[in-house]
Homo-oligomer: A and B are copies of this chain.
Amino acid sequence: MKDSRPNFNSDDKDKSPADGSVKDGGYELKGRVWIEGPSGTFLGYGRAVLLERIREYGSISEAARSMGMSYRHAWELVDSMNREAKAPLVETATGGKGGGGARLTSDGEAAIESFWGLHARFKEFLKNEMENLII
């Protein structure tokens, strides 16, 4: 689903951008959705983009760089997702020629797919609401 993949705004690293918005006159309806796990944030827009980039680059550091994010921050997000998930979303291999790589597990693939489905339906919700909103 690359064509519909949202752009990540690297100027806005510390908070996820709004998940969707629809303009009507001067007004926009905006919103965000995210999933919290047993002890903190599990999955939201920025984390889903990070998982996609890890799939694309096979590396947490290259995924982080592509998003203008520090390796440390990306690593912490991956660690947080792996801890909150029922089974890890990302597997890492350390050492070896060329250093360690990272790849998504099948649970990671499923989490991305599930989140983008939710995200698409949420955008549709906002679109419908905007059409009926009286402001």
Give me the interface of A with B, judged by CB distance under 8 Å.
21, 26-38, 42-43, 85-86, 110-111, 114, 118, 121-122, 125-126, 129, 133-135
Closest to A43 in B: B135
Given A135-B85, A135-B111: A35 in contact with B42 (beta carbons within 8 A):
no
> Whole-angstrom distance from the CB of A19 to the nearest CB of chain B?
8
* Known A-B contacts A27-B42, A42-B27, A122-B125; A35 and B85 likewise in contact (beta carbons under 8 Å): no
B122 adjacent to A135 (CB under 8 Å): no
CA distance A36 to B25 in the complex (A): 11
Instruction: List residues of chain B with CB within 8 A of the CB of A34.
Output: 29-31
Distance A29 CA – B33 CA, assembled complex (angstroms): 7
Q: How far is the CA of A38 from the CA of B134 in the complex (A)?
A: 15
**Further 16 A-B residue pairs, CB within 8 A, beyond A21-B36, A27-B35:** A27-B36, A27-B38, A28-B35, A28-B36, A29-B34, A29-B118, A30-B34, A30-B35, A30-B36, A31-B34, A32-B32, A33-B126, A33-B129, A111-B135, A118-B133, A122-B129
